[in-house]
Amino acid sequence: MKSHISIQDVNAFYGDHQALRNITVEIPQKQVTAIIGPSGCGKSTLLKCLNRLIDLTDGASVSGKIIVDGINVLNGSIDVTDVRRKMGLLPQKPNPLPMSIYDNIAYGPKLHGKPGKKEMDEIVEKYLKISGLWEEVKDRLKSPANKLSIGQQQRLCLARGLAVEPDIILCDEPTSALDPVSSQHIEQQLLKLKTNYTIVIVTHNIHQAMRLADYVIHLYLGELVEHGHANEVFENPKEERTRAYINGTFSIDLKIDSEANLKGKMCPFNFVYAKQALHNLEDGKILKIIVDDPTAVTEVPRGMEADGHKVLIVKEINKTDWEIVIQK
Amino acid sequence: MDKLIEERIFKILMVVSLGIVVGSLFMVIAVIIWNGAPSLSISMITQTPKGGYYLGKEGGILNAIMGSLYLAFGSVILAFIISLPAALSLQKDYIGKTRLAYYIRLSLDVLWGTPSIVYGAFGFIVMLYFGMRASLLGGIIVLTILQLPIMIRSMEEVIKLVPYELKEASYTLGATRFETTFGVVMRQALPGIFTAVILAFGRGIGDAASVLFTAGYTDSLPRSLLDPVASLPLAVFFQLGTPFPEVQRRAYASALILLLIVLTLSIVSRYLSRKFTKNIIR
Ligand SMILES: Nc1ncnc2c1ncn2[C@@H]1O[C@H](COP(=O)(O)OP(=O)(O)OP(=O)(O)O)[C@@H](O)[C@H]1O
Ligand SMILES: [Mg+2]
């Protein structure tokens, strides 16, 4: 594992309130790193330290080192616009700029060089394609970005961030404002992008972290509780607090309306059976299925969310079996 | 039951106050049209006063119309050039949170509330000191000062309303403060900035007291910035002051022209600012 971002002994304060305590961790290159932890534990703060967006918060101060490509980004004397260029940010709520779709993408490249018209057209097309938006907007590039759906706006923001050619993509709960289909769209794009980019994603959604992450950082009350490869952290956390957090987000008491045991069934049959079982239920009712096919653990929830159902729980119940709870 | 009464009382209050607002606007316009329209003629707006105009003879008030337009446009342009950077620098990204900004806002608010005759008197004294006589330039400068607080404070308010996420988006793309201000903040605030300009224009063109000593009054059109210049509010004032009913009616016609200018401008600006709003993020 090659490290891309080296966070060394970082402390962050808002006034007297310490939001991050002695954080030291390496973020691997060209992988997806998920930052998980309960609300208020400092996830967004850590992200804001990486691209120095925290400078814009009144009364905030940061100490320590964050080394990216041999440069300490926390060093006060470096050009902060260079730091930010290296890192695209995908916010929680899509924030298109008050201009056309085209100009939203062109805004960044225009700041950092003056590409000609033809070159710019190519840039816009390229990044809209990468973010999977091109087909939907290619005929109305000049129309206002605010007319796009929320999901489309988020992909626009992704394209806009990529257009300044960063090496790193930072995402702060990028799908929490989106519907399941749009969320899945974004997740798919991120998975594709990790071959070329280092991705850091803050998420409240453990299933999302499981689906996306190669590496996991667990924060709790501003402290680094645990970090490591995703499968180790999720399957066998070293720290009790991590185990509690991961289980805690699962153990919601639910009234299960129907159950289906799909053990021994392979993909995509388990998916088909699950769909059939859901079909017989009314809207809002809850179905629990048990699967033992490892690919089903990721594919079934993804397919269900794509169909507009809500996946509430994905939980390992023993060495081989998983429980998936879906709300129609 | 109590709730119902509350609701009813509030409803009555709303209707009454809306009635007063709409009613007084309607009455002002009606009275001016009623008294002014009959005297409104082509010669009123195409001729300067001939000898004996104020006795009810030939001529028009082209001098005052043109004078007011020169004064208002001149001062609005000048005020805009000063106000925009001032309002932008009052953002929290610049000096917005400092003590200096606090005092600037305070003094602008005091200036906003200051009666315009005070500006006029101040302008007069300064001009005396420099040995200047009443002139278009003097009028423009005093009107500019009169408009600054309105323009800066209203611009600042709309700039403050620009969502912070928009600025953040720009910063994360590696934009500087300057690039963010002109690339994003200005675009988002444009309709509001427009409104601020119109507001200031309205105050500038309608003010009599500040131009009384500083721009003077004359029956001819100004040939240079240093010539004295007439204005519509003063035209109304002087004509209303004559003992002749015919001339007094012309005062209403002048007021009507003033009203029409302001109305045209706000309609045009509404239309233009709607064109700007299509990209705005809500
Ligand atoms: N601008 C600010 N001023 C003061 N305190 C802040 C500010 N922003 C965050 N904090 C505090 O810092 C701590 C960490 O906040 P942060 O936003 O990083 O949490 P988070 O893990 O992202 O939470 P969430 O999951 O709810 O987004 C919290 O206790 C929060 O109250
Ligand atoms: Mg957060």
- Domain membership flag for residue B84: yes
pLDDT at A148: 93
pLDDT at B69: 95
Task: List pLDDT tens digits, range A139-173.
Answer: 999 999 999 999 999 999 999 999 999 999 999 99
Chain centroid offset of residue B26 CA: 21
C-alpha–C-alpha distance, residues A54 and A70, integer Å: 21
At B74, which CATH number? 1.10.3720.10
- Domain membership flag for residue B32: no
pLDDT at A321: 78
Cβ pair A98:B188 closer than 8 A: yes
User: From the CB of A41, is ligand 1 less than 6 Å away?
Assistant: yes
Residue B104 in tokens: 């600037």
Q: Model's pTM, two decimal places?
A: 0.79
pLDDT at A32: 96
Task: List pLDDT tens digits, range B143-170.
Answer: 999 999 999 999 999 999 999 999 999 9
Task: List pLDDT tens digits, range B34-89.
Answer: 999 998 888 888 888 887 777 767 788 999 999 999 999 999 999 999 999 999 99
Per-residue pLDDT, averaged over A294-309, amounts to 77
Per-residue pLDDT, averaged over A97-126, amounts to 92
- The CA distance from B141 to the nearest CA of chain A, in Å, is 35
Task: List pLDDT tens digits, range A194-225.
Answer: 999 999 999 988 889 999 999 999 998 889 99
Provide the mean pLDDT of chain B.
Answer: 91
Query: Which CATH fold would you assign to the domain A3-245?
Result: Rossmann fold (3.40.50)
Phi, psi (degrees; rounded to nearest 5) at A203? -145, 145
Other beta carbons within 10 angstroms of residue B197's beta carbon come to: 24
What is this model's ipTM? 0.79
Cβ pair B166:A87 closer than 8 A: no
Per-residue pLDDT, averaged over B182-209, amounts to 92
Put simply, the chain A residues between 30 and 89 with a CB less than 8 A from any chain B CB are 51, 53, 56, 58, 81-82, 84-85, 87-89
Provide the mean pLDDT of chain A.
Answer: 88
Q: Which atom of ligand 1 is nearest to the CA of A37?
A: 21
- Domain membership flag for residue B221: yes
Domain boundaries, chain A: 3-245, 258-327
Q: Does A94 touch chain B (CB under 8 A)?
A: no
Task: List pLDDT tens digits, range B250-276.
Answer: 999 999 999 999 999 889 888 888 877
The three state secondary structure string of chain B is CHHHHHHHHHHHHHHHHHHHHHHHHHHHHHHHHHHHHHHCCHHHHHCCCCCCHHHCCCCCCHHHHHHHHHHHHHHHHHHHHHHHHHHHHCCCCCCCCCHHHHHHHHHHHHHHHCCHHHHHHHHHHHHHHCCCCCCHHHHHHHHHHHHHHHHHHHHHHHHHCCCHHHHHHHHHCCCCHHHHHHHHHHHHHHHHHHHHHHHHHHHHHHCCHHHHCCCCCCCCCCCCCCCCCCCHHHHHHHHHCCCCHHHHHHHHHHHHHHHHHHHHHHHHHHHHHHHHHHHCCC
Cβ pair A146:B163 closer than 8 A: no
- Domain membership flag for residue B51: yes
Strands A87-90 and A168-172: parallel
- Domain membership flag for residue B19: no
Give distance in angstroms: CA of A91 to centre of ligand 2: 10
Q: How far apart are the first and last CA of chain A?
A: 40
User: From the CB of A4, is ligand 1 less than 6 Å away?
Assistant: no
Range A258-327 has CATH code 1.20.810.10 = no
Put simply, the chain A residues between 190 and 229 with a CB less than 8 A from any chain B CB are none
- Domain membership flag for residue B16: no
Per-residue pLDDT, averaged over A7-12, amounts to 96
User: From the CB of A147, is ligand 1 less than 6 Å away?
Assistant: no
- Domain membership flag for residue B6: no
Q: Does B172 touch chain A (CB under 8 A)?
A: yes
Confidence of residue A314 (pLDDT cuts 50, 70, 90): low
Q: Regarding predicted confidence, which is higher, A59 or A268?
A: A59
The total of structural domains in chain B comes to 1
Cα Rg for chain A, rounded, in angstroms?
A: 21
% of chain A with per-residue pLDDT over 90: 54
Q: Which atom of ligand 1 is nearest to the CA of A204?
A: 25
Put simply, the chain B residues between 70 and 109 with a CB less than 8 A from any chain A CB are 92-93, 97
pLDDT at A249: 62
Cβ pair B169:A82 closer than 8 A: no
- Domain membership flag for residue B21: no
Q: Which atom of ligand 1 is nearest to the CA of A20?
A: 14
Domain of B202 in residue numbering reads as: 40-277
pLDDT at A275: 84
Q: Regarding predicted confidence, which is higher, B157 or A294?
A: B157
Q: Regarding predicted confidence, which is higher, A318 or B128?
A: B128
